[in-house]
Amino acid sequence: MTVRHLAQDLARQATERLVLLSGVSVELTAAGRDVTTAVTRLAEMVVPLLGDWCVVSLVEGETHRNVAGHHVDPAMRPALEAYMRDRFTGRTHAEFGPHTCHSPQQLILPAGTTDYVLRTLNSPQAKAALTALAPVSSARLPMAARGRVVGFLGLARGADRPPMSADELAVAQDVADRAGLALENARLYAAQHSLAEGLQRSLLTEPPEPDHCQITVRYVPAAEIASVGGDWFDSFLQPDGATVLVIGDVMGHDTAAAGAMGQLRSMLRTLAWHTGAAPAEVLSNLDAAMLGLAVNTTATAVVARLEQTPQEREQDITWLRWSNAGHPPPMVLDPDGDVTVLSAGHPDLLLGLDPQTARGETAVALRRGSTVLLYTDGLVERRGQDLDAGLALLRENLARLADLPLDQLCDRVLEALLDAGTTDDVALIAVRLHPQDRPRPAEAGPVRLPPHVG
């Protein structure tokens, strides 16, 4: 090879390595919080540039877990899969002799890899697979971030390739470092998501079940790990026996939003129960309390109350009184399939902006057998889609589901309007008014009332 050809070859190799590093960063970022996708793409990208085959493993406590591997030769991929499946069998903390699963050190074997690794294996199947793979040189590179080893990138070459050069090892470690940071970020986001979702679910308690009034709730977290938000629902009985329904959404999609949601939910139910006030007054009192207690957030909400006097019960009349603070409008589904959107003009101002704003409320008479649906915007809003289109889709689906039991109706609505990649969490609360001239139907479950009402 001439000097010119050598220089061209070196330049080509340098370009390939730069492209690899750039591609790894792009792919890991694109994979986001999906660890399996991230490491699978990583394994595919480093082969064959850095090795004939590779294995990516993650550290979990005192053990490893193989996540992905790739071989340049399709015929050898079954052997690699067998090796990955069995290589940790009977081993608790050591992968390569003294190099434990928490060691931040590289393990570089310029030769003799097969013999070295065979001595660390307990599984006959893993030994047979490794013998078939026949690695000669190898490198085990830690994937670390913030002082913590999160996994390892293992690269191997056969007899027809020289060991990795110093430049190649530097590139491989750079790849491992980038992967380690991406995986650690994914772990932290997952932990944040779990905390926020756990907080959210702990606050979304089971609703009461007043006589002849069936209440069903649903909560669907966002598909994106970092998108847990401040959606909430609530239902309770005021001291006079009126049933209160609440749906709300705190601005934001993080742990802070979930925490603020918990504050507002507790404040609202306390104010509504203690004062026995109507919906508009409850929202006004909440606005004032947010200012006085320095709860610095904004939120949308609907507060609704089911009201019925003894005389109205005899006449089979129930009133729904509601007030809307910037939230998507509730809908009422009649037994015959007619759907009414409870818009009553424009909704009032969001909570947390102006405690002096005037809040209105509206009342509508409901037929027995009617269903009231309150929901958060994640059910009807999509990027690139007009809100009116989402509301129309919900209305169309409700009209087709009037004859279903309430639980099935809620499930079918979610199936129809949500897809696997929804980017916002969704809460909904549905109420069905069963006829009062007969026993509560079995499908509604038992009556469940708080002690002060029972």
Name the residue among 105, 107, 63 with its Cα closest to residue 87: 63
Q: How far is CA 350 from the centre of its chain?
A: 26
Give the pLDDT score at 80.
97
- The beta strand positions in 13-102, using DSSP E, are 53-60, 63-71, 94-96, 99-100
Query: Alpha helices, DSSP H only, in 233-292?
Result: 255-275, 279-292
Q: Is 10 helix (H, G, I), strand (E, B) or coil?
A: helix
**CATH 3.60.40.10 is right for the domain spanning 204-444:** yes
pLDDT of residue 224: 57
Closest C-alpha among 209, 127, 190 to residue 434 = 209
**Domain range annotation of the chain:** 3-192, 204-444
Amino acid letter, 377: D
Report which DSSP code applies to 334. -
DSSP at 353: S
Residue with tokens 């207690």: 293
* DSSP assigned state of 159: T
Reported pTM: 0.65
Q: How is the chain split among helix, strand and coil, in percent rounded to 5?
A: 40, 25, 35
Q: Which residues contact 113 (CB under 8 A, 6 or more apart)?
A: 135, 136, 137, 138, 156
Q: What is the pLDDT of residue 152?
A: 93
Q: How many whole angstroms separate alpha carbon 362 and alpha carbon 199?
A: 33
Q: What are the average pLDDT values for consecutive 10-residue runs of the chain, which has 454 residues? A: 56 58 65 72 89 91 82 97 90 49 82 92 94 96 88 95 92 89 77 64 70 88 62 91 94 76 92 96 97 94 94 87 96 96 84 95 93 96 86 96 95 89 82 86 72 57
Cα–Cα distance list, 286 to 48, 148, 206, 413 (Å): 62, 45, 23, 31
Can the peptide bond before residue 48 be classed as cis, meaning omega within 30 degrees of 0? yes
Cβ atoms of residues 56 and 154 within 8 Å: yes
Q: What pLDDT score does 193 carry? A: 65
Find residue 96's DSSP bridge partners. 99
User: 3-192 sits in which CATH class?
Assistant: alpha beta
What number of CA atoms fall less than 13 Å from residue 243's CA on the CB side?
24
Specify the DSSP element, H or E, that contains 313: helix 310-314
Residues 6+ apart with CB under 8 A from 45: 20, 23, 24, 27
